[in-house]
Every structure is written in structure tokens, then in C-alpha cells.
Structure 1
Amino acid sequence: MTQGAGQGPETERTATLRDFRVPAYVNETGPYVDSTHPGDVVPPLDEAYPEGYPDGYTPTQRDLPVINRGDTLQLPVEPAAAPVAQAAAGPGPLYVVGDVHGYFDELITALREQGLIDADRHWCAGTARLWFLGDFTDRGPDGIGVIDLVMRLSAEAAAAGGYCKALMGNHELLLLGAKRFGDTPVNSGAGTATFQAAWLLNGGQKTDMDRLQDHHLQWMARLDAVEEVDGYLLVHSDTTAYLDYGDSIEAVNDTVRETITRNDADEVWDLFRKFTKRFSFRDEGGADAVRSLLDTYGGTRIVHGHSPIPYLLGEVGSEDDEEGTGPVVTGPHIYADGLAIAMDGGVTMAGKLLVRQLPLDN
């Protein structure tokens, strides 16, 4: 294309971090390339160019120096996240995310480290598949921000040929119940309780409730409770209570949605109470409990959140670990004869928010 009105100089692509469009003249050599350092003695122009000035060169009172790289202020640049490797054919790589609990910044960091989002927090992983294991809100400062991010990434991933999906956690049920039923008494099995009181007791944040809108509620109410992907049975809670709601993945998910839709406070409370149970896979008989779920719903390994890894290991940290003595979590915890993978790194107790690709390296 010839240069005309409203058109700049011809441009070319450069392999820079942010893919700037660089004018062609930036890469040209010229009379300034070999200029001396500021402060050096500059030879007279007739000595510098005894055969005449180069074409297009306009002499000034003194030749303009080039500032060398060592004279400039060097600012650190955050390295770009390694892009997710794309499969030549078939589905993209599979990733899972443990409990987030409103820790928005930690989630952004973890997704960036895995190359799933870019510096502007948009999906950049192509056909990758990403599963959140539930518990987006409570305890941390920005649960609604987390939900908004997951909803947006779901649309962006689908447009790129991948997906971003989420499971129902017990804290989604708790937030739904607190919004719908408030202080309505429910039969807790140990006396009278309310969703509102339980929500506050379990880290409910007023800022989340104030920002909670109908589309957030509808999104949470439609989440699946169980899914099987690539031989991994994905659930939120480390409990066998899922067996109470159906003998297939489809049956469990349908029953959970129907229970929420009926809008009966006692029914939803019972669902919340059962999904809050934990440690079914940890102690004696834990491997058999995992097998009961795998035999019923399929898969060769179960992947769950809910119970923080420090709890599973008998290590308990504090919410505000200022002295750095909290639990050290470096990755998922494999246990129950290798059949269970725990993904809640204990971000609420100064642990780590985990995002990992499956299968694991170890």
C-alpha cells in the first residue's frame, strides 16, 4: 500500500513482548548510530563527513549523540507467562483450581503463572480446559469479583475453543441460602439455625452480599456438583454424601438443581450440611470411600477441594500468619492409596491457592 493522506510510514512486526507496531525507520542505520557518548569531543562536521553529508542528513550546530544503553534507567519488566501448549488435535490440556474463597489477587497470580490468562486478565490459553472446584466466596475480600472473573473467562475460553467451568461448593449453597432465606429458621439437626447466621459464622463478607445480583445467583444455582473428565472424578467435597443424591453423575446434578429450584429452606440446608462434611477419604477406610464414588460415577482418581491440605496433614495455620509460621503448601496432596488428589491449598490460612494441570507430574 502506498503512503497517502492519513497513513503513517510503512510498519513491520517485531517480536517484542507486547507486539508493538514499530516504524520501519527505527531499524534503519544512519549518521547517529556511531555517535559519541555525551560529553566526548565531537569532530568537526567536515572531518566526520569528508565526502559530503549523507542523503537526507541535516547538519546542526553539533552532531546529535546517541544515548547508550548503559546511560538509561533500566526498569524491571514482568516476564510474560509461558503460553499453554496446545494439542495438535482433540481437547486441550486440563487444569483444575482449588478453593478461592474471595482471594482475587492470588487467583490472578496463579492463573497467570499457568499461562491461562494474560496481563490484562483475559483468557489466553486457547483450547485449554479449566475447572474450578467450587467455594468462590467468603473469608477473602472479593468473592463477587472472583465470580465475575470466572463468568467472563467462561465466555472467552468458549470463544477460543476451550472452556472454563465450575462446580458447586458448599459456600455457594451457603451464600444462596443466606440471600434467599436470611433469618428464616431451619432444622439443623442440632436445634434451630439460620442461613444468615451460618454464613456470617463461616466468613461471609458484607461487601459480597451488597454486590450480589440476580445473575450471580442464577449462575451459582445452575452449577454442577459432580463431573468426570479424562478419568478424573471432580467434586468439591471430600465426602461420600454425593451418593445420597443419585447413582449417576447426571442424577446427582439434576437432584441438586431441583432441590435449589424448589426453594425449600430445610431442603437446601440439608444439602448444604451434607456437602460440608469432610475427611471421608483421609482416615482408615478412606481409599474404600473413594472407590465407592469411582465405582458409582466413573473415573480412576478423584479430585476435590473443600478440606485444606494443612488439615488433611494435621497442620493448622492461622488466618493472619504475620510471622510466616503457617503451613507450607507446595502443591496438591495425593493420598488414599493414590486415588485422591486434594486441591485446597489453604489460602485462607496463609497457604497457597492452587492451579494445576492434570495429570500431575508426580
Structure 2
Amino acid sequence: MTQGAGQEPVVRTAALRDFRVPPYARVPVQGHATEPPAEPSDGAPFDPAAALDLTGHTGHTAPSGPDAAPAPRDPMAPPVPPVPLGPPVGPPSSLAPTLRLSHVTAPPAAGSSIVAVATGHPGNAFPEGDVPEGYTPTERDLPVINRGDTVQVRVDPAPAPAPAGEGPGPLYVVGDVHGYLDELLTALREQGLIDENGAWAAGNARLWFLGDFTDRGPDGIGVIDLVMRLSAEAAAAGGYCKALMGNHELLLIGAKRFADTPVNSGAGTATFQAAWLLNGGQKHDMDRLQDVHLQWMSRLDAVVEEDGHLLMHSDTTAYLEYGSTIEDVNETVHEILNRNDADEVWDLFRKFTKRFAFRDDAGPQAVQELLGTYGGGRVVHGHSPIPYLLGQVGTEDDEGGAGPVVDGPHVYADGLAIAMDGGVTMAGKLLVVQLPLQR
């Protein structure tokens, strides 16, 4: 959730200042190479059947040494035709997802790494010395911003398919996290999505994050690292873990790219840096922000339809300004970010910051307009905390021990909208639920 970007006034709460961030070590991201085939021992008899590998080329080598002679053949056995030698073919590539990092223009300093992670914490991007294969959400979500001074990440194969005879796994959604990594880990464990070590444990389940990973809370970059790691682990298990673009992702990208560059805010001059600090930006997140995080965020989709649920971050009809189909909206958002124009990105951020479009008497009609355009039977969103939607008042430091009461998602707008931001930043609850809701 964000304020100060053109929407109606809302109650703003002070950012939680909790700097209890565990020490971070830098773990180099390495590519994965297939093992070279073992060399045959000298003098070993030639086996034509074993000489053919799966690609159809031979692995036979001529005997070496001056005294090498062909093995005696049984005179009663029919002659074995020679196996034609094809063009040289490299070893078969692994079917597992492979991470490849392209050349970085500036050589890293000694001891540097691509991703900074907290060793010993279940939310680490990956354990020290154990880089998971396919370190990316999905091929669609790949970081593909082609800048010569940034790390380029590419994945080869698609996620592992679900076992034969099984359809898609259960669908889960996660509301706004805002840097509360420990609360997220607890909520994911309660749903059986991760184990005690923080590893994916849900097989072919499908998990969607509704955006807003950083700001306000103590470990926004740790949250992003966790989502990126779970994306690879879920894909390997036949499921998936994906994420949507929230307004705080746009804000963090803008603060990093444009800093104090003046932008036309519609109400005068503003900067991304000032807006980011105003809305809970944390210095330790900016210090740990790497190119791989920026690229991953820049490729997130803005809206998606799953099992009749239209998933988006913000409770606004502003999405309609960016396309008449889901594909058009997502493509337009990506194009805006790739053009790298500060005013254009600010306008996108400002519109994705609007809220409360579904709350009043006109809410059901607004939801119907979105559903009629993009499909689905219900909108599921984050962004506006449930305590705000219900008119409750909460504080981030929970003064007096009386925070807002949030038991679960809020269904409203004649049952057409589901709010998923439980207000974790104001002592509410971080929500992870399975869809459709069980009532």
C-alpha cells in the first residue's frame, strides 16, 4: 500500500523501524555443467551396442599404442557391420533447468556475489554451496533486460510437468508481505507449502504472490530471495510459485533507477527517492538490492487469471487503461519499464497506487467491468489493508496491544472481490489462503 501519489487521503502509519536483520554472506551463483563422459580404459573390448548413445553418435575410440590389435572374433559369428561415424556431437544436455550468467562488464571485486543472502536462515536465497537449478520463477518471468552492465539470467527447459494422470495442483495466494520474512515463513508452513527448513514441500501446488514484497518491514530483499528460490524448487516438483507486480515494486525500481530525478507528479514536482522514503523505504533493502532483483521485478506480470479468479495487486480499475486483454496489460507494463522514462514510470506507479474502487456502492459495477474485460468470476487483490476497507484504525507498533482483528480474507462488493492484504504492517495478519475460499 502506498499513499501520497494522487489517491484520496488515507490514514498513514509510521514505518516500522526494525533493523534486526541477520548477518548476510555473499554466495556466488554458479552455472551447472553436465559431467563429461568417462574415458574408456585402454584395451577394453569394443561393444557396438554400448557405443551408441541416446543421440545416435558413437563413443568408440580406436585402440591406441603400437601393439594394439582387434579382439579375436568367433569364426561362427556373423560379421558385425561397422557403425558409421556421424559428425561430432557434444554430450547430451541435462534435462534439469540450468542457470547461465552472461559476461559482466565490470569484474566483481574479490568476494563479491550476485545475490546477498542470510546464512542459516530458512528464507535464504539458497544454502551456502548449494545453488538450486533453474533459479528463476518461470520462463515468462525471466529477467531479460538487455543491458551490457547487468547480469543476464536465462533458463533453458520448461518446469517439470506434473505426473501423468494428475491435473493442476491446489491454488494458493499470498497477500502483501512488506518485508516481514519470518511471518511469511510461518504462514507458508501453516499451509504446508514449505517444510521446517523453508524448502518447497507442496509438490504440484500453485502459489501466487500478489505483490508488495519490500518496504516498511525488516527484510524485503530476503522476501524476494525466498520467492525466487521457491519458484525454482516448485517448478522442479511440478508446481509453480509466481508473483505479480505491486506498486511498491514499481516504487523500488523507480527509486533505484531515477533516484532524485524530478518527475511530473500531477500536483507539482516529486522524486521517486522521496516517495520511496515516505512510504516505508528501508535503507538496508536498497543497500542489498542487486541487478538480479531488479530484473526479476521488472518482468513480473500485473494481472493474471487462474481458475476463474482474476488476480491483481491493486483494487483499482486503472488496469483498463493499459489494455483490453490480460496479455496487452502485461506487455504494456513491461514496455513502459523497458523504455526507462521517469515520468512514464511515475504515472504507472501513481495509477497502480489508487485504491478503494470496489468498496462503495459503485464497487460491484467496477469489479464487473474488470471481469467483463479480462475474464474470471472474482477479483482477488492486495494493496488496501483489510482494516482500512473495514474502517478500522491500527498502528504499526501496536500501541496498547490492540491491533486490528483480521481473521482471514475480506469478501465484499456483492461477493465479487476478495481482499488479501491482512495489514501485517499494522499488527494485522499476513494472509496465505487456498482458492476457492472454503465457506
1:330 paired residue among 393, 397, 407 = 407
**Closer/same/farther in 2, CA of residues 234 and 258 from structure 1, 3 Å limit:** same
- Alignment correspondent of 1:70: none
Structure 2 counterpart of 1:90, one-letter code? G
Hey, what's the Cα distance between the residues in 2 that align with 1:336 and 1:314?
15
Hey, what's the Cα distance between the residues in 1 that align with 2:400 and 2:187?
23
Hey, what's the Cα distance between the residues in 2 that align with 1:338 and 1:265?
38
1:222 aligns with 2:299: yes
Structure 1 counterpart of 2:183, one-letter code? E
C-alpha distance after superposition, 1:71-126 (max 9, x if no partner): xxxxxxxxxxxxxxx99720000000000000000000000000000000000000
C-alpha distance after superposition, 1:200-229 (max 9, x if no partner): 000000000000000000000000000000
- Alignment correspondent of 2:169: 92
Shift, 1:326, TM fit = 1.1
Show the 5 A alignment for 1:35-74: none
- Alignment correspondent of 2:120: none
1:306 paired residue among 383, 393, 401 = 383
Hey, what's the Cα distance between the residues in 1 that align with 2:393 and 2:294?
32
Contact 1:100–1:107 (CA under 8 A) maintained in structure 2: yes
**Closer/same/farther in 2, CA of residues 205 and 262 from structure 1, 3 Å limit:** same
- Alignment correspondent of 2:52: none
Contact 1:232–1:301 (CA under 8 A) maintained in structure 2: yes
Hey, what's the Cα distance between the residues in 1 that align with 2:286 and 2:208?
25
Contact 1:99–1:135 (CA under 8 A) maintained in structure 2: yes
- Alignment correspondent of 2:233: 156
Show the 5 A alignment for 1:120-131: 120-131=197-208
1:276 aligns with 2:276: no
Question: What RMSD in Å do the two structures reach over aligned CA positions?
Answer: 1.1
Hey, what's the Cα distance between the residues in 2 that align with 1:212 and 1:346?
25
Q: Where does structure 1 differ by over 6 angstroms across 4 or more consecutive aligned residues?
A: none
Show the 5 A alignment for 1:123-142: 123-142=200-219
> Residue 227 of structure 1: SS of its match in structure 2?
strand
- Alignment correspondent of 2:318: 241
1:315 aligns with 2:361: no
> Residue 288 of structure 1: SS of its match in structure 2?
helix
2:273 paired residue among 155, 171, 196 = 196
Hey, what's the Cα distance between the residues in 2 that align with 1:316 and 1:260?
35
Q: Which runs of no fewer than 5 residues in structure 1 stay unpaired? A: 1-85
Contact 1:110–1:354 (CA under 8 A) maintained in structure 2: yes
Structure 2 counterpart of 1:130, one-letter code? L
Structure 2 counterpart of 1:296, one-letter code? T
- Alignment correspondent of 1:108: 185
Hey, what's the Cα distance between the residues in 1 that align with 2:266 and 2:360?
25
Shift, 1:324, TM fit = 2.0
- Alignment correspondent of 1:45: none
C-alpha distance after superposition, 1:18-61 (max 9, x if no partner): xxxxxxxxxxxxxxxxxxxxxxxxxxxxxxxxxxxxxxxxxxxx
Hey, what's the Cα distance between the residues in 2 that align with 1:129 and 1:100?
18
Shift, 1:322, TM fit = 4.0
Q: Which runs of no fewer than 5 residues in structure 2 stay unpaired? A: 1-162
Please, what TM-score do these two structures have when normalized by structure 2? 0.63
Report sequence identity in percent: 83
User: Which protein has the larger Cα radius of gyration, Structure 1 or Structure 2?
Assistant: 1
Shift, 1:144, TM fit = 0.1
- Alignment correspondent of 1:173: 250
Hey, what's the Cα distance between the residues in 2 that align with 1:88 and 1:234?
27
Hey, what's the Cα distance between the residues in 2 that align with 1:359 and 1:271?
30
Shift, 1:323, TM fit = 2.3
Structure 1 counterpart of 2:422, one-letter code? G
1:346 paired residue among 413, 423, 426 = 423
Structure 2 counterpart of 1:124, one-letter code? A
Contact 1:87–1:93 (CA under 8 A) maintained in structure 2: no
Hey, what's the Cα distance between the residues in 2 that align with 1:340 and 1:87?
35
Higher relative contact order, chain-length normalized (CA < 8 Å, sep 6+): 2
Structure 1 counterpart of 2:359, one-letter code? R
> Residue 323 of structure 1: SS of its match in structure 2?
helix
Hey, what's the Cα distance between the residues in 1 that align with 2:422 and 2:257?
30
